[in-house]
Amino acid sequence: MPDKPPYTLTFKLKSTRADAISAALAQLQAITADYDQTGETAATVTIEAWREQDIVNVRTAFEVWLHRHIIGIACEVTRKDPGVRPE
C-alpha cells in the first residue's frame, strides 16, 4: 500500500480579506467532514504588507496563538524580504 493517497485536490485561495479566506476554509472543513480522508490536509496562507513591522507583528501574534492552542498543527514559516528594504 502506498504511503500517500493516490488522489489529491488543491485549492489556492487569494483575497485581500482575511475573513473571506477564513470563511472559505470553514466551508471546506464542513464539506470534507462528510468524506473519508486518509491523508493530511494542508493550507498555505500568504500575507503581504508594505511595512516589515506589520509582517513581524502578524507572525508573532500567530506564533503566540499556536503556542496557546496546540491543536495538532505543524507550522512552517517562510519570510521573503527585499534585498534593499524600502523603509
Asked if 2 and 11 count as a contact pair (C-beta separation under 8 A), the reply is no
Indicate if the pLDDT at residue 57 is higher than 90.
yes
This prediction has a pTM of 0.69
**Quick one: average pLDDT of 15-44?**
84
Q: Please give the grid coordinates belonging to residue 35.
A: 468524506
Q: What is the pLDDT of residue 30?
A: 87
Mean pLDDT of the residues in the chain? 83
**How many C-beta atoms lie closer than 10 Å to residue 55's C-beta?**
16
Q: What is the pLDDT of residue 1?
A: 56
Confidence band of 65 (pLDDT split at 50, 70, 90): confident
Q: Which residues of 31-41 are buried (b: 16+ CB within 10 A; e: fewer)?
A: eeeeeeeeeee
